[in-house]
Structure 1
Amino acid sequence: MKSKAMVLKEFMKPLEMEEFEIAPLEAGEVLIKIEAAGVCGSDVHMWKGEDPRTPLPIILGHEGVGRIQEIKGKKQTVYGEDLQVGDLVIWNRGVTCGQCFACKILKDPSLCKNRKVYGINQSSAVFPYLNGCYSEYIILNSNTDIFKVEDTVDPALLVSASCSGATIAHAFDMISSVLGDTVVIQGPGPLGVYAVAFAKSMGASEIIVIGGSKERLDLCTYFGATLVLDRHETNIQERNQMIMEKTRGIGADLVVEAVGTRGVAEEGLKLLRSGGTYLSTGYAQPAGEESIDFYRDIVSKNITVHGVWVSDTKHTKMAIDIVMKNKEHFAKLISHRFSLEEANQAIASMNAREALKAVLIPNRG
């Protein structure tokens, strides 16, 4: 039995279609037929060679939903349900070691230094080869945490829950509540859209989004944003003034960075009230240094700054839950669908910011 997959062999070069022999499964492994694979903004950075974790050659794709084709032995979901051939599933994209300092002492698997991530740091040259979602099939490690998905759900609807959704869930899991109810979100992409959804679900009354795409800002409004600020129509000083006016000169309680580009943190920290919290979620790769006045913007205001690195299984569950409660909303997040053979077009559409969320459908006719 064989599987076609799109392989990145050289940075900045087109992915190439390859055929892989599907290796016999080892105990606890699960063979998945991919029904939908998300094309993440991080994939674009990896394609460009900007992510230091990326080995070559690699089958990209860390967001996947698929149907079980084979199980070696017994495998259960995180809820203890027995998995069966034919089940539609989604999984935590990262597999941690359970033995290192982060796993054992910190109890924070997202910081595991031995973390293996499908489609990010596992080469297609390494057994069992099918290690990414830009493929007809993927083989899941025996330690992969798996969730069943309702058969009636469009698989494409859930792919982003395993990355953008889980990362934002991790961010909001770091705070107990949205104190004062004013949230500013920097960036209207998938991370920003999830941030709007989580802020609304936690009871924020003012949700302000800053971005440069009218279509994306409109989607954030649809999700519950109460004010959107187009950065092409406003400058930093104007945005600061508008947010201060909205908050009676106090500033936002919470600012979520969901962009990952230089200069964003410099603006965002100035938008916070004293005692406010800054959640940085967008830096999936190095982006350069920020110029921060620690005395004025952090120390003298008692600001809490949280770096948010990837996510864990708990956060994948939180993201799945919020999507399932808002299916109609998240359906609008998917702007483009491509076949597996069109993976290069999908990456190009994400790189050009033509697509908000592109999804590969391997069996698309």
Structure 2
Amino acid sequence: MKSKAMVLTAFNQPLELQEFTVSALEEGQVLVKLKAAGVCGSDVHMWKGEDPRTPLPIILGHEGVGIVAEFKGEKRTVDGLPLKEGDFILWNRGISCNQCFACKVLREPSLCQQRKVYGINMSCSLPPYLNGCYSEYIVLNRDTDIFKITQDVDPAVVVSASCSGATVAHAFDMIEHAVGDTVVVQGPGPLGIYAVAFARKLGASKVVVIGGSSSRLNICKEMGAITLDRHATTVEQRREFIMDITGGRGADVVVEAVGSQGVVEEGIKLLRSGGTYLSTGFAQPAGLEQIDFYYDVVRKNIRIQGVWVSDTRHTWQALNLVLENSEAFRKMITHRFKLTEANEALSAMATRQALKAVLEM
């Protein structure tokens, strides 16, 4: 049996279509016929060689959903259901070692230094070779956490739950769901859209999104957010707006969902005293931020929380959020491509033509 896949063999060069032999499964492994793979902004950074974790050659793609084609031994989903051939599944993109200090003592698997991630730090030069989602098939490790999807839903709609959705779920999980009355989201991309949805679900009465794309802002507006176009407003005007709608206090929570230099400097100043700043967008270095820690952090007693990837719990939360609002999240998928068009999909993401691009097999 063969599987075609799009392979990154050199940074900043087109992905190559290659064919792999699907090897015999080992105990606990699951062979999945992919139905859809998300093209993430992180994939663009890896393609450019900006992520030091990226080995070559590699099959990119850490967001995937598909149909169970085969598995060896007994296998169950995270909620204890026996896995069967033909099941429609999504999986946690990361596999932690469950043996290190982060896993055993901190109980923070997302901080595991041995964490393996499909399509990010698993080379296709090593068995079982099919380690990424830009492929017809993927082989899941025996320790992969799997979620069965029982609803009849467009596969493309749920792929992002395992990445941007799970990351935002992790962010709100860190503040124990105390989102307060007003949440400000910096950036109307996939992370920002998930932040709007989670904030609304967790009880925020007002969600304000700051961004520069009118089409993306419109999606946030349809999901219940107030929007501010950063091209039509100044930093001071946006701050005045937030202060006006909060009685001069400032936002309870600000979610950074951009990953660009300068965004933190603005966002910190939008918080009320005792507020929380959640940073979800920095997937790679973007430069230094200038913050006056006395005036903007210490004197206001605010909390700055970095958010690094996610764990199984967060993927579960994001998946269920999408399944509750599948039609709303469908609007996030602006571009659909065939597997062999993966280079065009990366280009659409790199040039920001696409809000979310998906490969459909």
Task: Encode CA deviations 1:185-239: one digit per residue, 9 max, x unaligned.
Answer: 00000000000000000111110000010000000001110x2111111121111
SS of the residue corresponding to residue 305 of structure 1 reads: strand
The TM-score with structure 2 as length reference comes to 0.99
Segment of structure 1 superposing worse, 182-191 or 281-290: 281-290
* CA shift for structure 1 position 257: 0.3
Retained in 1: the 8 A contact 2:254–2:278?
yes
SS of the residue corresponding to residue 58 of structure 2 reads: coil
CA spacing shift, 1:351–1:37, aligned 2, 3 Å: same
Counterpart in the other structure of 1:258: 257
Letter in 1 for 2:301: N
* CA shift for structure 1 position 127: 1.1
Task: Encode CA deviations 1:43-75: one digit per residue, 9 max, x unaligned.
Answer: 111111111111111100000000011101111
Retained in 2: the 8 A contact 1:178–1:253?
no
SS of the residue corresponding to residue 209 of structure 2 reads: strand
Retained in 1: the 8 A contact 2:179–2:252?
yes
Retained in 2: the 8 A contact 1:91–1:147?
yes
Letter in 2 for 1:25: L
* CA shift for structure 1 position 290: 1.0
SS of the residue corresponding to residue 343 of structure 2 reads: helix
Letter in 2 for 1:183: V
SS of the residue corresponding to residue 298 of structure 1 reads: helix
Counterpart in the other structure of 1:122: 122
Task: Encode CA deviations 1:247-269: one digit per residue, 9 max, x unaligned.
Answer: 12111000000001110111100
* CA shift for structure 1 position 130: 0.5
| CA–CA distance in structure 2, aligned partners of residues 151 and 329 of structure 1 | 16
Retained in 1: the 8 A contact 2:335–2:357?
yes
Counterpart in the other structure of 1:184: 184
Number of residues of Structure 1 aligned to a counterpart in Structure 2: 361
* CA shift for structure 1 position 175: 1.2
Q: CA RMSD in A?
A: 0.9
SS of the residue corresponding to residue 265 of structure 2 reads: helix
| CA–CA distance in structure 2, aligned partners of residues 208 and 241 of structure 1 | 13
| CA–CA distance in structure 2, aligned partners of residues 253 and 54 of structure 1 | 37
Matches within 5 A, 1:324-335: 324-335=323-334
SS of the residue corresponding to residue 321 of structure 1 reads: helix
Counterpart in the other structure of 1:154: 154
| CA–CA distance in structure 2, aligned partners of residues 346 and 309 of structure 1 | 25
| CA–CA distance in structure 2, aligned partners of residues 63 and 179 of structure 1 | 27
| CA–CA distance in structure 2, aligned partners of residues 180 and 152 of structure 1 | 34
Counterpart in the other structure of 2:336: 337
Letter in 1 for 2:329: F
Counterpart in the other structure of 2:132: 132
- Any unmatched runs of 5+ in structure 2? none
Counterpart in the other structure of 1:214: 214
| CA–CA distance in structure 2, aligned partners of residues 31 and 270 of structure 1 | 49
Counterpart in the other structure of 1:67: 67
Retained in 1: the 8 A contact 2:179–2:202?
no
SS of the residue corresponding to residue 143 of structure 2 reads: coil
| CA–CA distance in structure 2, aligned partners of residues 291 and 285 of structure 1 | 18
| CA–CA distance in structure 1, aligned partners of residues 211 and 48 of structure 2 | 23
* CA shift for structure 1 position 343: 0.3
Retained in 1: the 8 A contact 2:212–2:229?
yes
Matches within 5 A, 1:247-286: 247-286=246-285
- Any unmatched runs of 5+ in structure 1? none
1:293 aligns with 2:284: no
| CA–CA distance in structure 2, aligned partners of residues 179 and 276 of structure 1 | 10
* CA shift for structure 1 position 179: 5.0
Counterpart in the other structure of 2:35: 35
Letter in 1 for 2:341: E
Counterpart in the other structure of 2:54: 54
SS of the residue corresponding to residue 301 of structure 1 reads: coil
| CA–CA distance in structure 2, aligned partners of residues 255 and 353 of structure 1 | 24
SS of the residue corresponding to residue 195 of structure 1 reads: helix
| CA–CA distance in structure 1, aligned partners of residues 146 and 103 of structure 2 | 19
| CA–CA distance in structure 2, aligned partners of residues 150 and 40 of structure 1 | 25
Counterpart in the other structure of 1:21: 21
| CA–CA distance in structure 2, aligned partners of residues 246 and 6 of structure 1 | 49
* CA shift for structure 1 position 358: 0.6
SS of the residue corresponding to residue 85 of structure 1 reads: coil
SS of the residue corresponding to residue 168 of structure 1 reads: helix
